[in-house]
Amino acid sequence: MADHDLLIVGAGISGLSMAHHAAGAGWNTRILEPEYRPGGCLHSHRFTGALDGFWLELGAHSGFNSYGNLLAIMEQVGLLERIQRRAKVGFRMFVDGKIRSIPSQLYFPALPLAPFRLLGLIKTGRNVAEYYGHIVGRRNYAAVFEPAFNAVICQPANDFPADSLFQPRPRRKDVPRGFTLPGGLQTIADTLGARPEIQIDFGQTTRTLRRAGEHFVVGTDDREYTARTVGLATPVAVAAELLDAEFPDLARRLREIDTATIESIGVALPAEALQLPPVAGLIGRDEAFYSVVSRDTVPDPGYRGFTFHFRPGVLDGEEKLARIAQVLDVPRVALGSENVAFKTNQLPMLRVGHGERTRDLDKALAGSRLALTGNYFSGVAIEECVTRSLDEFTRLRQEG
């Protein structure tokens, strides 16, 4: 008999939310995670020493009241009442070395036509550049919308499927439109990971997946686990590698999805050291970074924090810190080891036609007792990951 009802590979929000549902159904569930922290892209860096108590987001920064499946889980674990409304501060653009308002970059004569251009325009089958470029006009698209979409998905957005970018969902009226939690979104991962019914083995990198009779055997560097069902909740490239031996067709389909790397650096500075007015973030145009995400949405009396999400391979480590100092207008020496945090993030690069690939994957998965979840199905937002995990767990339950 297998040791587990469900083994989940990866303790990001996809793996944690699947484990939450499985534990709720009474399944003996374990997650294997290489890091010593749950959350994956939910990564709130919490400073220590002089900055003790201050945190900033190195990955995802906002939840929204349209995240119904995430909010349902948060309600079940008592997190709803801890939700913190994000302060209303706006985004600005960073262009030609200067901070500029978004309206100052728009070409207004093209905008009144936008509602008419929207009529009858179908998102499916079009990429972001075609769809939004047609609506707002090429000039506005290049000046504002393209850099803004790049900032939203932390990768060049032009070829991303338009229907995977913003998905309309009902909004909960009892929840602020944009939210975080004390300690950042990491608190969601910490709370789910601390549920006594969910066992997480940290420091365990999964290397192999094979079938043995009626169950699965999952191998890490130092041990093997057996399970009746398995959920892969890793970045897509890792899932492809793990599937190679037993599910080569699935692995081949996953290899068609490229991965974007984002080199993220968060810095915390005393509020009095900065002239920059409060901002939600900066959108870079023709810049080494896609965006700068600010902690001003959760103001702190003493410190301010900024995470720069850099394009990969453009600047080396020292050049990035020099650029951060320039943008924030602080001396380079103000950025030391105690107030700077680094992270490499990865996101899938979805392309038009991805819906068809997802349907093929789902057909191949039917009856397999293997679940695939993550941010490479309908979209990269947290809600899409959580929804995929719920759907996949529902299928596993039916398959026994």
Positions touching ligand FAD (CB under 6 A) are 9-15, 32-35, 40-42, 59-62, 154, 205-206, 233-235, 238, 262, 264, 309, 345, 347, 374-375, 380-382, 385
Taking the least distance from each CB to ligand FAD, the nearer of 368 and 389 is: 389
Taking the least distance from each CB to ligand FAD, the nearer of 77 and 271 is: 77
Residue 387: CB atoms within 10 A of its CB come to 23
Are the beta carbons of 385 and 17 closer than 8 angstroms? yes
Distance CA 60, CA 69 (A): 17
Taking the least distance from each CB to ligand FAD, the nearer of 105 and 205 is: 205
Instruction: Give the list of residues 6+ apart from residue 301 with CB closer than 8 angstroms, or none.
Output: 271
Tokens of 254: 């996953």
Are the beta carbons of 34 and 204 closer than 8 angstroms? yes
CB of 50 to ligand FAD, least distance (A): 26
**Cα dihedral sign, 77-78-80-86:** negative
Taking the least distance from each CB to ligand FAD, the nearer of 40 and 133 is: 40
Q: Is 65 helix (H, G, I), strand (E, B) or coil?
A: coil
Tokens of 307: 């995470």
CB of 113 to ligand FAD, least distance (A): 31
CB of 382 to ligand FAD, least distance (A): 4
Q: Is 99 helix (H, G, I), strand (E, B) or coil?
A: strand
Taking the least distance from each CB to ligand FAD, the nearer of 34 and 278 is: 34
Tokens of 271: 């509020």
CB of 272 to ligand FAD, least distance (A): 28
Instruction: Give the list of residues 6+ apart from residue 127 with CB closer than 8 angstroms, or none.
Output: 158, 159, 160, 161, 162, 351, 352
CB of 262 to ligand FAD, least distance (A): 6
Q: Is 109 exposed, middle or buried (0-12, 13-18, 19+ CB in 10 A)?
A: exposed
Q: What are phi and psi of 225, to 5 degrees?
A: -120, 150
Taking the least distance from each CB to ligand FAD, the nearer of 17 and 339 is: 17
Taking the least distance from each CB to ligand FAD, the nearer of 130 and 362 is: 362
Taking the least distance from each CB to ligand FAD, the nearer of 82 and 169 is: 169
CB of 231 to ligand FAD, least distance (A): 11
Taking the least distance from each CB to ligand FAD, the nearer of 32 and 144 is: 32
Distance CA 288, CA 262 (A): 11
CB of 16 to ligand FAD, least distance (A): 7
CB of 12 to ligand FAD, least distance (A): 2
Tokens of 225: 């686990």
CB of 330 to ligand FAD, least distance (A): 22
Tokens of 81: 């009442």
Length of the chain: 400
Taking the least distance from each CB to ligand FAD, the nearer of 262 and 292 is: 262
Q: Among 1, 28, 5, 35, which residue's Cα sits nearest to residue 230?
A: 5
Pairing of β 91-95 and β 281-284: parallel
List strand residue ranges (DSSP E) for the chain, in order.
Answer: 4-9, 29-33, 44-46, 55-57, 63-64, 84-85, 91-95, 98-100, 178-180, 198-202, 206-212, 215-220, 224-232, 258-270, 281-284, 289-294, 303-310, 340-349, 370-372
CB of 108 to ligand FAD, least distance (A): 29
